[in-house]
Amino acid sequence: MIQNIVFDMGGVLITWSPHRIAARFDLCDGDMQLLRREVFGSVEWVCLDRGSLSEQEALQRFRARLPEGLHPAAERCVFWWKEELWPIEGMEELIRELADMGYGIYLLSNATSALHEYFPRIPGSACFRGGIVSADWKLLKPQREIYEKLFSECGLNAADCLFVDDSAANVEGALRCGMDGVVFYGDTNRLRRDLRSRGVPVREGEA
């Protein structure tokens, strides 16, 4: 029986959109595409989430291959979380409802350790009992080890947990570790129906 719900962060609790972040800057289309490719599409961006590069180390590499005029924008991309966050509509209400029903709420996110600094700004964050941030452990979803680290660090039984992530590959990784999971497609009402189908008696979502 499901007793705990584990949530991803980007794309589930808040909108994660490199295009939307880059759109904050007054750039021509070519510069925007260059910034998105050389920053968000880079190996360094993956290394940031793994914790194998610091923000300053990654930024130094971005600056080395970007024109000087894009250096300020690259820095704002690296520290995107210092600006506006975009909560997913309806997610705070769902999380609070689950917590009020007694479900344990946990986090499993591919993110830099800076998440600890900005997580309190995410609506519903006060309901979380714990979780795992990838950079803290030098691991990334969908590696088996990161799910096992979640279970061991938070004292969870995989069979008692349900994982919600916007990546099918990450959900499949959870399934291979014995934790049920659902893919989140940005529709909180659909997620409510998926939860109900697994025996979690949240309120019905709208049709």
Bigger pLDDT: 204 vs 152: 152
Residue 71 is predicted with a pLDDT of 97
Residue 205 is predicted with a pLDDT of 74
| 155, pLDDT greater than 70 | yes
For the segment 152-158, the average pLDDT, to the nearest whole number, is: 98
pLDDT (tens digit per residue) in 22-36: 999 999 999 999 999
Q: Alpha-carbon dihedral of residues 117, 130, 153, 3, nearest 10 degrees?
A: -160
| 153, pLDDT greater than 80 | yes
Residue 206 is predicted with a pLDDT of 73
For the segment 141-150, the average pLDDT, to the nearest whole number, is: 98
Residue 5 is predicted with a pLDDT of 98
Residue 61 is predicted with a pLDDT of 98
Residue 192 is predicted with a pLDDT of 98
Query: What are the start-end ranges of the H helices in 86-129?
Result: 91-100, 115-118
Q: Which amino acid is at 154?
A: C
Alpha carbon distance 170, 29 (integer Å): 32
Where do the domains of the chain lie, and which CATH numbers do they carry? 4-15+86-197 (3.40.50.1000), 18-82 (no CATH)
Residue 207 is predicted with a pLDDT of 60
Strands 4-7 and 130-133: what pairing? unpaired
Residue 124 is predicted with a pLDDT of 97
- 159 neighbors 135 (Cβ within 8 angstroms): no
pLDDT (tens digit per residue) in 68-125: 999 999 999 999 999 999 999 999 999 999 999 999 999 999 999 999 999 999 999 9
Across all residues in the chain, what is the average pLDDT?
97
